[in-house]
Structure 1
């Protein structure tokens, strides 16, 4: 199978390219940022360039990962054109490329606010502009019937593991240095995804019979939710750091308000505020049974993921 992966320089993209090559697929990586996993440097907002790139690659399948994924835009959706016009461009490029049999279109769990569990695939409750842009991603794909190919939508949750962003690296360094604290006694259940597991799930969505995925929407996460407290403690043990203390909710809320005040005077990097406290305390679990039925058992458990992540972090930190 020949697979075109857009966003191949990204966190998930690099892991997926590795997985597909391990599965003996021929992979063509496309991204606007050059990297070892990228064969074609192209911006998906360049409609003509994208159409030529897809046609030239002539893949059997496409996995669309390229997107703007931060939450920084506060004004309007125009900041997320990659997630709207970029998707429209790729839909048209796929439509014009006869070799493509299947496409997986990546959305996000943030088409609904964190903590809200939708009642249907189109029950949207986005509370960020990024989330709303991913609603448009889904609407474009559904409206075009996936460019009239076999298709499905994927909604990744929080993804962690080797290669994770600087934001998550800072979180792990806080645990390593003994600067992190738990809020309350927990547990705090969350549907997280280890990077090698989500790469495996994408591979399975590409390889199973069409009837199992066509026109469906899949949440991508580990099938067993993670308790944030147990997960953080696993990192603490792997680092050999001091045990993580528990802070009462009331004290954490007071500290978060102090962080809000510090942020308001321009010190944006203060590590704790009400937004982050809410993220910590908000639990979310999705029904992964449909995904498990299609993708099957995952290759890594939490402890394996923690060990690999700590080894990677030490290698990039020079420790």
Structure 2
């Protein structure tokens, strides 16, 4: 008999890649309030909002999963109050209740977010927080609910995805590819920026290893590629795919001026300017996380930066 894997939020970016990875290996079920991004995944989908406790519990009970990857969340930064992110709080409580009543479950992975700390801040431990968004605050509450729950056994792990990219991605991370395709991305001259981003194919591989290993149970780890990428190098790889040449570099003050213009465009209703002060700050800030413990469990990742970029470029060309 095949093992059963339940993915909440399986219609989202990471979830879509998880369903694709597991669908031919195990019996899979996607619980999501949105239809799948990949239409071929519709056969694995049950429509449910995780805030609907009764229906969520019923679907867990009907499926009797062995493994659960809880990816469902509200992830945008548009919410004004913590109540706007009920899916990240009450939704987590409902999932824990469902897990508690489902005796078949062997392991659970809960997805949090790197935004429990602002970009550039290195937490001293997993309970050291410094959020800069309401979304990040909601994810902190969700983490605490998991750690403090009396209903869970010691068969869970929390992962904090960093900035992940790859097939089926969307705003904001797809913006980087969009801007390079449109020749709108320019790099600050003479500036080297390093980021622990993650190709989604590598991150699915990591999640799979963590799902079937008990070494890091009850711990909180970051989900990303192990080697930080250098942003200009990556941008050049992408640009050469689209245009056959490297990106341009300009003095930093030019980018700051463009960012201010983007701020104005956003204020007057332009939804996604190529660059804003917020995005420029994100680009300019090094983002490094300690993945040592995960590396010891997972070993070598399957995709290089060049390979992941090629896969993503091919998907992008086919879907845009």
TM range (shorter): over 0.9
Which of 53, 61, 65 aligns to 1:59? It is 65
What does residue range 65-104 of structure 1 map to in structure 2 within 5 Å?
A: 65-73=71-79, 75-104=80-109
TM-score normalised by the chain length of structure 1? 0.93
RMSD value, Cα = 1.6
- Alpha carbons 1:177, 1:241 under 8 Å: kept: no
Partners of 1:283 and 1:71 in 2: how far apart? 21
What is aligned with 1:109? 114
Partners of 1:266 and 1:240 in 2: how far apart? 31
1:298 aligns with 2:304: no
Q: Deviations over 1:166-195 (max 9, x none)?
A: 444343232123222112322100000101
Structure 1: tracts of 5 or more residues without a match: none
Partners of 1:114 and 1:137 in 2: how far apart? 19
Which deviates further from its counterpart, 100-109 or 163-172?
Answer: 163-172
What is aligned with 1:157? 162
1:25 aligns with 2:30: no
1:169 aligns with 2:174: yes
Which of 270, 274, 289 aligns to 2:273? It is 270
- Alpha carbons 2:163, 2:173 under 8 Å: kept: no
What does residue range 129-168 of structure 1 map to in structure 2 within 5 Å?
A: 129-144=134-149, 147-168=152-173
What is aligned with 1:179? 184
- Alpha carbons 1:178, 1:242 under 8 Å: kept: no
Count of paired positions: 313
What is aligned with 2:227? 224
Please report how far the alpha carbon of residue 261 of structure 1 lies from its aligned counterpart in structure 2 after TM superposition: 3.0
Which deviates further from its counterpart, 157-166 or 83-92?
Answer: 157-166
Please report how far the alpha carbon of residue 47 of structure 1 lies from its aligned counterpart in structure 2 after TM superposition: 0.4
